[in-house]
């Protein structure tokens, strides 16, 4: 069953910063040891984000001991380095259910604790948020202090520079801790990392600079934090930490241990189970991109600090020198790709759906407006389960299909994925395709990826009573729902739409003519999504078919099990069949 999380009755297992601040400094080492022990036990039992929080144990304890939290505000960047913060702020026992529907989020959430000052799931936000808090405090006369803790590569985000630049202009009493571990998920990239000129960088922006200090040595760290606490004006404390510190396997490979499956604490061996199943969608994408690139030397790939999460590390082993990691800088990634495309290359931006939201203007202005052949591969589209609302990719159809000239598609399986990639690269136009998280379907692959007609749907089975128009992952649910409907005497046509833009209007008109009633299926928000596109297309149809759109209602979906999320959204096969049958009976 794994190693249980230690009880809060352990002598140094503190779970309230006010209790922590009653301890003498000499006791802090024991608190750190107990906290790290808990985090290792939690990782061994449950897996999940791991190495980042191990590297911030001393920093977390030091911040809560030196500063008067929650009156003093600590603004964390991202959440996977803040599990220790959660444990110290009343959620020690609850962490055993982290990312479960009945447990705490894996990220920072204001609704979860008064100590979570600002919600954080996307990197690079802490300094901007903290600066806003500081300015609001100045205007209200609040003497509380605010600290932004940025690290795990978030300082490569352009937004972080923008905030630092503004803070220097305001001469605000902003305190920043740079948790410098040389990593984001993968090793950090960029000129600042190579030159190491941190003092010059911060001082040029109007900051006073403290450090660097060893972020794991309390005798160095605590005095430095006290200096930061007592500083005035923009001040940065530079701490050097080691991601995965305190657990040898993670410290030796912080990249591989950023997130983990459950493991044997004594040996570090992962308990990942059998690898005999189908590949993940990410692996299928990487392999498909490799096959496309085998035949087209113009293809290059771009990641925003996620080479492993997007499969581009796998692609890079097949095609060395054809991957660019730009750091946590999605806006730059897109415009950089646009520049590459002007010179004849065919760039593929592999970015999670939820993160591509940050580059909307660049997609519009720098790619689509200029008609440049940039392809976007949106991993983690749809509901993603445990990572929750900050990471669900359920807005992409809405924000992409409104962009003129952009093709938007979704494959139903990994074989269609490789053909869509070939279509995208060979289309000489902006192209976006989305695919989900998790295991692919395990279908056989055609020998070579080949282009398919843009804007053409595919009818998978015919029927006369109702047409189920599905997209991407929902195609499997539609086929299963059609079988259930057949058992209840309903003949259902199933159409794989494949493309949201351009829509196959002929397929829609055919369904309207022969079935009269159409159901649309998507793992996306109903507002502005695939169903909306179908309704818009059929609004002027003289056939006036009845349309029922199934997807996600207006609201953020909480973290939990992805299958349960589909059940709750009523887009699983049984729910589709029941809802369709009830609707047909009411028509």
Token output for 331: 């806006």
Q: Nearest Cα to 411, choosing from 473, 495, 349, 347?
A: 473
Q: What is the pLDDT of residue 20?
A: 95
Tell the residue number behind the tokens 């389960």, with chain if given: 385
DSSP state at residue 388: G
R_g (Cα) of the chain, nearest Å: 25
Query: pLDDT value at position 269?
Result: 87
- CATH C-level class of 281-434: alpha beta
Task: Tell me if 104 sits within 8 A of 97, measured CB to CB.
Answer: yes
Q: Is 179 helix (H, G, I), strand (E, B) or coil?
A: strand
Question: Whole-model pTM?
Answer: 0.87
Distances from the Cα of 74 to the Cαs of 44, 151, 325, 379, in angstroms? 28, 14, 30, 32
Task: Report yes or no: 398 and 525 within 8 Å, Cβ to Cβ.
Answer: yes
Please list the ranges in the chain whose pLDDT falls under 70.
Answer: 1-11, 152, 183-192, 272-276
Establish whether domains 17-260 and 458-586 are of one fold.
yes
Which residue is associated with the tokens 């959430």? 109
Long-range contact pairs involving 206-210 (C-beta distance under 8 Å, separation at least 24):
206/167, 206/168, 206/169, 206/171, 206/234, 207/164, 207/167, 207/168, 207/176, 207/234, 207/235, 207/236, 208/233, 208/234, 208/235, 208/236, 209/235, 209/236, 209/238, 210/235, 210/236, 210/237, 210/238
Provide the greatest CA pair distance for the chain: 80
Q: What is the rounded distance in angstroms from the CA atom of residue 66 to the CA atom of residue 354? A: 36
For residue 75, give the 3-state DSSP assignment.
strand
367, 196 contact by CB (below 8 A): no
* Contact of 495 with 467, CB cutoff 8 Å: yes
pLDDT value at position 9? 40
Q: Which CATH superfamily is domain 17-260 in?
A: Thiamin diphosphate (ThDP)-binding fold, Pyr/PP domains (3.40.50.970)
DSSP 183-215: BSSSBP-SHHHHH--HHHHHHHTT-EEEEEEET
Tokens coding 354: 């939820």
3-state secondary structure 486-510: HHCCCCEEEEECCEEECCCHHHHHH
Domain boundaries, the chain: 17-260, 281-434, 458-586
> So which residues are the catalytic ones?
243, 330, 358
Alpha carbon separation from 463 to 236, 460, 507 (Å, rounded)? 66, 10, 13
Which CA distances in Å does 327 have to 77, 220, 542?
15, 30, 51
Q: Which CATH class is domain 458-586?
A: alpha beta
């Amino acid at each position: 069953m794994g190693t249980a999380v230690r009880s809060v009755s352990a002598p140094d297992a503190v779970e309230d910063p006010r209790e922590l601040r009653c301890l003498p400094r000499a006791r802090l080492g024991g608190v750190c040891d107990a906290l790290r022990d808990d985090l290792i036990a939690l990782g061994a039992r449950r897996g999940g984000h791991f190495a980042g929080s191990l590297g911030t144990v001393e920093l977390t304890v030091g911040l809560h001991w030196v500063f008067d939290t929650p009156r003093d505000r600590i603004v964390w960047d991202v959440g996977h380095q803040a599990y220790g913060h959660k444990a110290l702020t009343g959620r020690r026992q609850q962490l055993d259910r982290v990312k479960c529907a009945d447990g705490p989020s894996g990220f920072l959430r204001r609704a979860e604790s008064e100590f979570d000052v600002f919600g954080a799931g996307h990197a690079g936000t802490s300094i901007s948020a903290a600066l806003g808090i500081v300015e609001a405090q100045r205007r209200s006369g609040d003497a509380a202090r605010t600290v932004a803790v940025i690290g795990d590569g978030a300082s490569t985000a352009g937004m972080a520079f923008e905030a630092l630049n503004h803070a220097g202009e305001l001469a605000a009493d902003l305190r920043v801790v740079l948790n410098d571990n040389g990593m984001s998920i993968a090793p950090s990239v960029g000129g600042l990392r190579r030159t190491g000129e941190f003092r010059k960088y911060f001082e040029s922006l109007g900051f006073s600079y403290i450090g660097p200090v060893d972020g794991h040595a309390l005798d160095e760290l605590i005095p430095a934090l006290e200096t930061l606490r007592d500083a005035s004006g923009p001040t940065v404390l530079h701490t050097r930490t080691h991601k995965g510190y305190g657990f040898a396997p993670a410290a030796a490979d912080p990249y591989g241990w950023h997130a983990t499956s459950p493991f044997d604490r004594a040996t570090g061996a992962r308990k990942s189970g059998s690898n005999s199943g189908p590949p993940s969608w990410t692996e299928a994408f990487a392999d498909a991109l490799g096959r496309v690139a085998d035949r087209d030397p113009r293809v290059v790939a771009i990641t925003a600090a996620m080479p492993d999460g997007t499969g581009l590390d796998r692609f890079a082993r097949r095609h060395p020198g054809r991957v660019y990691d730009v750091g946590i800088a999605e806006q730059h990634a897109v415009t950089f790709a646009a520049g590459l495309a002007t010179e004849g290359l065919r760039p593929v931006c592999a970015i999670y759906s939820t993160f591509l939201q940050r580059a909307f203007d660049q997609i519009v202005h720098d790619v689509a407006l200029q008609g440049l052949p940039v392809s976007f591969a949106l991993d983690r589209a749809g509901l993603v389960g445990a990572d929750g609302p900050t990471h669900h990719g359920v807005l992409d159809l809405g924000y992409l299909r409104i962009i003129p000239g952009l093709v938007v598609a979704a494959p139903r399986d990994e074989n269609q994925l490789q053909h869509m990639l070939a279509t995208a690269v060979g289309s000489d136009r902006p192209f976006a395709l989305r695919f989900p998280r998790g295991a692919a379907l395990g279908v056989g692959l055609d020998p070579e990826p080949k282009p398919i007609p843009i804007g053409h749907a595919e009818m998978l089975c015919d029927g006369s009573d109702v047409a189920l128009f599905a997209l991407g992952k929902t195609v499997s649910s539609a086929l299963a729902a059609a079988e259930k409907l057949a058992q209840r005497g309903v003949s259902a046509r199933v159409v794989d739409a494949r493309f949201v833009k351009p829509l196959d209007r002929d397929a829609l008109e055919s369904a309207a003519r022969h079935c009269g009633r159409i159901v649309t299926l998507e793992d996306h928000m109903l507002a502005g999504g695939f169903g909306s596109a179908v309704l818009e297309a059929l609004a002027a149809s003289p056939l006036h078919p009845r349309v029922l759109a199934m997807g996600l209602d207006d609201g953020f979906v909480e973290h939990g099990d992805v299958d349960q999320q589909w059940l709750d959204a009523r887009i699983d096969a049984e729910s589709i069949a029941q809802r369709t049958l009830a609707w047909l009976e009411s028509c």
